[in-house]
Amino acid sequence: MSFANIRVPYPINEKPKDYAPGSEERQLLQKELERQLSTFVEIPLIIGGKAVYTGITKPVICPHNHQHKLGVYHCGNEETVKQAVSCCQKVAREWQQTPWEERAAIFLKAAELLAGKYRYLLNAATMLGQSKSVIQAEIDAACELIDYFRFNVFFMNKIYNEQIYQKTETSWTRMEYRPLEGFIFAITPFNFTAISGNLPTAPAMMGNTVIWKPASTSVLSSYYIMQILREAGLPDGVINFIPGSGNDLGPIILDRPELAGIHFTGSTDTFKEMWKRIGFNVANNIYKTYPRIVGETGGKGFVLAYKDADVEALSVALFRGAFEYQGQKCSAASRAYIPKSLWNDVRKLLAQMAEEAIVGDVSDFRTFMGAVIDKTSFSKIVGYIEEAKKSDEMKIEIGGFYDSTKGYFIHPTVIVTSNPKSKTMVEEIFGPVLTVYVYDDERFDEVMDLVDETSPYALTGSIFARDRAIIRKACQRLFQAAGNLYINDKPTGAVVGQQPFGGARLSGTNDKAGSFLNLLRWTSPRTIKENFAPPIDFTYPHMRT
């Protein structure tokens, strides 16, 4: 029990290390990479704090060297789901009643463990298991996840301090932010280790118990996050770790009467199917409560340039936004609208960068791009490239090369299209493919309409211009086109606490991870009015004679 109105430290974003040649962090990370490459890890389920080995295993491989196995992970099944649900119920009351500052201490300690002792462990696992370059791993697996832990604690404190201050003569009203009644199902993606850590921990921080199903292609880094949380003092059973096939586990978990919410990042189609199943179950009185549905799904990030845009800044934003982490970001720059007067200069700069960028093994710190995540993703992206090569309205301007002999490598590819609604301008590709529509300079107003109408998504977008009136006009016209809008910057790289992340339309529920708004979704507020002088006469003044 607290005897003080406790306030947590004001969070400051973790500063990325640069891993320059000769630096201590470079040497430590290289040593950890070598260790993990020579180690075979067997990853169990973790239910109620205990390791569970089902015997149903799948390999953990390096996407940039798919013959190299880093380990195996055990897959969950119906029986292990039942065990996990039972654990969630068993520990729920004690976890809910744990003072918030004690919950906060666990996650603040996890942040410190990650900032120091386990920084290189998690970075190396992300690099090897998810084929992230050193800088992409550092800003994701280390900095962003540290930020989530620290800032979410601050946001939790902010929420609990939000009270009703209206005074009445004889009563006191206060607000409690209870956890939801039931367990949260966290389904996490492969592309951001930080998201994998945030989706189960944000609800847990607010007093909920969680079943966590990590992406099958990022089990290694997710497993290490689980180990960090346990060392930080997270009680057994608060988060239960169940890898496995989403198709196998998802329906079993979604059909549980105790489901109180889902925290999801993944494909739009998967999210639609989950919503449909939840809706069916609600209609058939399966659940005890209406489940909260929080999801961040697809994107088709745009870059819209005006004729006065800075060509160098625009070109770097396009290249980094489209090709960092192989374009496997829902926020990636995937479609661009460039005025004819700028295109030749932009094309030359993009071609130069594509020629200089190294695509290969991320253990080589000179590498700009690793491999795409797996064979299925590789085949899908190659399909778009091959279709563009055969198209009358699309042309491969840069790249178009790929090779899966050793790793799932696809080089930076730029397509120019004469049709602003061609397939690669509309559909999410989730790979290193940027499609450009070159427009006549005087058609800027029409192009703004195209940007807004072309894609079903509304996640991220960028506007490049110098004229303030143009920037204002574009921001107003594209009012609903992106949940995260950038001016003279790439559409990727949202920072916790600085740019809360999320989009609408078919990009998700826009509950803004990296802000207090997301944490609020994992609460069920209770208003308590206490009357210190309740009436003892049922009549009102107007009734008296």
pLDDT per residue as tens digits for the range 81-106: 999 999 999 999 999 999 999 999 99
CATH placement of domain 24-297+508-528: 3.40.605.10
In sequence order, the 6+-apart residues with CB closer than 8 A to the CB of 507 are 268, 296, 297, 298, 299, 330, 457, 458, 459, 483
Distance of alpha carbon 517 from alpha carbon 373, whole angstroms: 31
Q: What is the pLDDT of residue 135?
A: 98
Q: Alpha-carbon distance 316 to 309, whole Å? A: 12
pLDDT of residue 1: 62
Enumerate the domain spans of the chain: 24-297+508-528, 301-487
- Assess whether 330 carries a catalytic annotation: yes
Among residues 204, 266, 277, the alpha carbon closest in space to that of 235 is found at: 204
Question: Mean pLDDT in runs of 10 for the chain (545 residues)?
Answer: 85 97 97 98 98 98 98 98 98 97 98 98 98 98 98 98 86 96 98 98 98 98 98 98 96 98 97 98 98 98 98 98 98 98 98 98 98 98 98 98 98 98 98 98 98 97 98 98 98 97 97 98 96 93 86
**Which residue among 144, 324, 330, 428 is the active-site one?**
330
Give the C-alpha separation, 261 to 192, whole Å.
21
- CA distance to 51, 185, 267, 397, per residue, from 321 (Å): 40, 31, 20, 18
Strand partners, 416: 395, 436
- 296 catalytic residue (yes or no): yes
Reported pTM: 0.97
Please state at what angle helix 145-161 crosses helix 193-205, rounded to 10 degrees: 20
Residue spans of alpha helices (H) in 324-422: 340-356, 375-390
At residue 3, the pLDDT reads: 82
**Which residue in the list 296, 324, 397, 428 is annotated as catalytic?**
296
User: Do residues 244 and 77 touch, judged by C-beta distance below 8 A?
Assistant: yes
Q: In the CATH scheme, what is the code of domain 301-487?
A: 3.40.309.10
Q: Are 104 and 8 in contact (CB under 8 A)?
A: yes
Report pLDDT for 87: 98
Nearest to residue 54, comparing CAs of 70, 71, 77?
77
Q: What is the dihedral of CA 310, 312, 318, 323, to 10 degrees?
A: -160
Cβ atoms of 259 and 275 closer than 8 Å: no
Q: In 64-159, where do the E strands start and end?
A: 65-74
Structure tokens at 69: 């196995």
Which among 461, 475, 447 is positioned nearest to 342, based on CA atoms? 447
